[in-house]
Amino acid sequence: MSDRLNENSESIMQVRNLKKYFKINRGYLHAVDDVTFDIPRGKTLGVVGESGCGKSTLGRTVLRLNEPTGGEILFHGQDLVKADKREMKQIRPRMQMIFQDPYSSLNGRMTTAQLIAEPLIVNKVCRSRSEIDERVDNMMDTVGLAKRLVMAYPHELDGGRRQRIGVARALILNPEFVVCDEPVSALDVSIQAQILNLLMDLQEQMGLTYMFITHNLSVVKHISDRIMVMYLGRCVEEADADEIFDHPCHPYTKALLAAIPIPDISSQHVRRELLQGEVTSPVNPKPGCRFAARCPYADDACRQGDIPLKEVAPGHKAACLKAAGLSGADVRQPEQA
């Protein structure tokens, strides 16, 4: 383990073969299955996938809000899976989460100031009431919340301001690592852009490391340095942001890219290849590629044994037997459009 650390010493978060299964009546739901990634300090890893692909579970498990079924979560080299309650209490403030729905993630009985102060109080960071007030004031300034809103309740605010509270609450403990779980999905486009800009500015100012979970490919391209595409609990492709959009390898990534409606009429009415069928069940999955059932290129080899994540180009990994042959094939690609 030690050499692995040296090899990638700037990585703040290293996840190795992480698994999270949920036990249900019919067996095990493989929400996250054998996922491995590194996030270097100050960078953003985007995690994309459709609903039910396990991306939210991954985010929660990395923070150990869920107990992982197996694997390692190395935060600064320390394995969170093995950390006991006391150690976790020490680590918690250094990694935070921004939630998807700014309507349900804020306790409606607390005011803005109380909501933002709560992590400070819970972790007993401040010695006095006035210190808390000061830090809350500064944080409200940082995220762009007007002073007059200190006593406002969440229901009196619009989605954008609520999400600013969510951001403030996540950042008030000065964390190093933040999991953003669809932070802008519930917001209108114009507000969405405000929050995205805010997140990027804060990353620069505070040197934050993000894991950015979303289903929106345009957003993820915009904010991420590296992107991981998930399908049914598995990482199917991982590469730098531009690389994945310019040269998608995995048929699923291609389909996903082709499916985004693009607000540009020059590409209008181009007949594109649509993915048929729907996501299969993540309960007791069959061996082989999970995407095989919907994949236009799948053959028998795809349905047998595990498909490993293989490097197809430097820094570009894909879990597809046919990746090499498919690279850059017949899908509408951004630069061609």
Partner 1 sequence: MSDNEILKVKDLSILYKTDLETVYAVNHVSFTLNKGQTLGLVGETGAGKTTTALGIMSLLPKRTARVTSGEILFEGQDLLKMSEKELLGIRGQKISMIFQDPMTALNPVLTVGDQIGETVRLHNTKNLSREEIEKKVEDTLELVGIPKERKNEYPYQFSGGMRQRVVIAMALICDPRMLIADEPTTALDVTIQAQVLSMICDLQRKYGTSMIMITHDLGVVAETCDTVGVVYAGEIVEYGQLADIFAGEDHHPYTEGLFGSIPNLKTKARRLQPIEGLMPDPTVPVEGCRFAPRCKYATDQCRSKKPPLWEKDGHQIRCHFAGIRKEAKHE
Partner 2 sequence: MNKSVQKTNRKSRRMASVKEFWRRFIKNKTALAGFVILCFILFIVIFADVIVPYSKCIEQAGSERLQGPGPAHWFGTDEYGRDLFARVIHGSRYSLIIGVSTSLMALFFGAILGASAGYFGGMVDNIIMRITDVFMCVPPILLSLAVVAALGTNLRNLIIAMTISCVPGNVRLIRSVVLTVADQDYVEAARSYGTGNGRIIFRYVLPNAMGPIIVNTTMCISDMILSAAGLSFIGMGIQPPAPEWGSLLSNAETYLFSAPYLLVFPGIFIILTSLAFNLVGDGLTDALDPKLKD
Provide the phi-psi class of 207: left if phi over 0, else alpha when psi is between -120 and 50, else beta. left
CB of 166 to partner 2, least distance (A): 8
Q: What is the DSSP letter of 36?
A: E
**Stretch binding partner 1 (CB under 8 A), from 3-11, 58-66, 193-201, 232-240:** 193-201
CB of 202 to partner 1, least distance (A): 13
Is residue 173 at the binding interface for partner 2, with CB under 8 A as the rule?
Answer: yes
CB of 146 to partner 2, least distance (A): 12
* Among 64, 94, 221, 310, interactor with partner 1 by CB under 8 A: 221
Q: Any idea of the CA torsion for 230, 233, 234, 240, to the nearest 10 degrees?
A: 30
Closer to partner 1 by CB, 29 or 63: give it. Answer: 29
What is the longest distance spanned by two Cα atoms in the chain?
67
165 neighbors 145 (Cβ within 8 angstroms): yes
**Stretch binding partner 2 (CB under 8 A), from 60-68, 191-199, 260-268, 298-306:** 60-68
Closer to partner 1 by CB, 81 or 152: give it. Answer: 152
From partner 1, partner 2, none, which one binds at residue 148 (CB under 5 to 8 Å depending on kind)?
none
Query: Could you tell me which residues are beta bridge partners of residue 60?
Result: none
From partner 1, partner 2, none, which one binds at residue 194 (CB under 5 to 8 Å depending on kind)?
partner 1
Query: Could you tell me which residues are beta bridge partners of residue 211?
Result: 45, 179
Amino acid at 287: P
Q: For the residues of 89-106, what is the DSSP string, one character each?
A: HHHGGGEEEE-S-TTTSS
From partner 2, partner 1, none, which one binds at residue 281 (CB under 5 to 8 Å depending on kind)?
none
Is residue 65 at the binding interface for partner 2, with CB under 8 A as the rule?
Answer: yes
CB of 128 to partner 1, least distance (A): 35
**Stretch binding partner 2 (CB under 8 A), from 46-54, 114-122, 306-314, 323-331:** 114-122
Is residue 113 at the binding interface for partner 2, with CB under 8 A as the rule?
Answer: yes
From partner 1, partner 2, none, which one binds at residue 156 (CB under 5 to 8 Å depending on kind)?
partner 2
Tokens at residue 62, please?
Answer: 């990395």
CB of 203 to partner 1, least distance (A): 11
Distance in angstroms (rounded) separating the CA atoms of residues 95 and 278: 35
Interacting residues of 276 by C-beta distance below 8 A, sequence separation 6+ = 294, 296
Distance in angstroms (rounded) separating the CA atoms of residues 208 and 125: 20
Is residue 92 at the binding interface for partner 2, with CB under 8 A as the rule?
Answer: yes
CB of 326 to partner 1, least distance (A): 17
Give buried/exposed letters for 267-283 (b at 16+ CB in 10 A, else e).
eeeeeeeebeeebeebe
Is residue 210 at the binding interface for partner 2, with CB under 8 A as the rule?
Answer: no
Is residue 275 at the binding interface for partner 1, with CB under 8 A as the rule?
Answer: yes
Tokens at residue 215, please?
Answer: 């289903």
Interacting residues of 296 by C-beta distance below 8 A, sequence separation 6+ = 251, 273, 276
| Nearest by Cα to 211 from 42, 44, 15, 30 | 44
Residue 288 CA from chain centroid, whole number: 25
From partner 2, partner 1, none, which one binds at residue 265 (CB under 5 to 8 Å depending on kind)?
partner 1
x/- mask, partner 1, residues 229-248, rule CB under 8 A, reads -------------x--x---
Closer to partner 1 by CB, 72 or 225: give it. Answer: 225
Question: Which residues sit at the interface with partner 2, rule CB under 8 A?
Answer: 60, 63, 65, 89, 92-93, 96-97, 99-101, 104-109, 113, 118-119, 122-123, 130, 133-134, 137, 147, 150-151, 153, 155-156, 166, 169-170, 173
